[in-house]
Amino acid sequence: MRERRLALLFMIGLTTMVLAGCSLPSAYPDLDREAGPDDVSEGFAERYPDDLENIDLDSVRWVASDGDIDLYLMRQRLGGICLEVKGNERQYGLSCSGGEGGLTVQSRTGTYQVRPAPMPEEDGWLVLSENVRVRVTASDGAAPADAGLPPWQSTPRAVSDSGERAGASGSVTGAGTAEMTYVVAEGDTASDIAARFAVGLEQLIDEQGERLGDHPTLNVGDSIQFGAPLTGDDYDCFFGLEGPTAKGETCYE
């Protein structure tokens, strides 16, 4: 009996040493470092008064700049991650996820993605930090431009598929090719489909190359392809931030 007790104590001690010496790496190393003077998003409370109760302000970390845009990562008090995309007085926004799996944020300056580490190296994305990357657009010298097409149209292109999820459980054909097509399933939403393929909502196009719109009606069996992102005034027009919103009206010209 004494030998059994000693063996049990030995195993407990060994397990304790292993756990102490082999801690798992963090999924969000951007949030784990000590706070510094740059980790304050000036005017945050004034911009998002309705979100203050749910944001852990002590967790806010500046993670990168993208041109004139500053990116701040933070945690929610009840779980989940938030990303603030902050530019001038007109260019700012706060997006949050419901869990630790990350999120995709579309803004007039580009499409940003927050992901648990390690961040994969993939074509079409520029890694900005250990947890944040930005989709590279034609203006960055990558992905060919839709020469000769109006902004409400785009040629299809291949995108990454993260797999089925609630709200985006449809099937895919032509994966990895420019003809990649998603077939809408029951219960699908445009925002969930965009999140599954890490694209902006404006990148969802039909088989004629027409952008679906910011609040499209989806029917089971519809075919969706993926076009180029919009930026600047074209992005503002698409999401109704400025001027007319219907396809082909003056704000696209």
CA distance between the termini of the chain: 87
Q: What pLDDT, in 10s, does the model give residues 31-41?
A: 999 999 999 99
Domain finish residue from 109, 136, 163 = 136
Q: What pLDDT, in 10s, does the model give residues 154-172?
A: 888 888 888 888 899 999 9
Do residues 114 and 189 both lie within one domain?
no
Domain that holds residue 228: 171-252
Q: What are the strands, taking DSSP E only, across the chain? A: 55-66, 69-76, 81-86, 92-96, 103-107, 110-114, 125-127, 132-135, 171-173, 181-183, 204-205, 223-226
- Is the pLDDT at 5 greater than 60, yes or no? no
Do residues 68 and 117 both lie within one domain?
yes
Residue 90 confidence class, pLDDT cut points 50, 70, 90: low
Residue 26 confidence class, pLDDT cut points 50, 70, 90: confident
Residue 242 confidence class, pLDDT cut points 50, 70, 90: low
Q: What is the largest CA-CA distance in the chain?
A: 87
Structure confidence at residue 12 (pLDDT) = 42
Do residues 36 and 131 both lie within one domain?
yes
Mean confidence (pLDDT) of the chain: 79
Do residues 204 and 130 both lie within one domain?
no
In this structure, the number of other CB atoms found within 10 A of the CB of residue 17 comes to 10
- Is the pLDDT at 24 greater than 60, yes or no? no
Question: Hunting for tokens 């007085």 — which residue is that?
Answer: 89
Q: Total domain count for the chain? A: 2
Higher model confidence: residue 22 or residue 153? 153
Q: What pLDDT, in 10s, does the model give residues 51-67?
A: 899 999 999 999 999 88
Q: What pLDDT, in 10s, does the model give residues 205-220?
A: 998 889 988 778 899 9
81 half-sphere exposure, CB direction, 13 A CA radius: 22
Q: Which amino acid is at 61?
A: R
Instruction: CATH number of the domain at 228, please.
Output: 3.10.350
- Is 131 a member of any domain? yes
- Is the pLDDT at 96 greater than 60, yes or no? yes
Task: Please state whether the predicted TM-score (pTM) of the whole model is above 0.75.
Answer: no
Structure confidence at residue 196 (pLDDT) = 86
What does the alpha-carbon distance between residue 19 and residue 16 come to, in Å, rounded to a whole number? 5
Do residues 201 and 110 both lie within one domain?
no
- Is the pLDDT at 47 greater than 70, yes or no? yes
Do residues 46 and 113 both lie within one domain?
yes
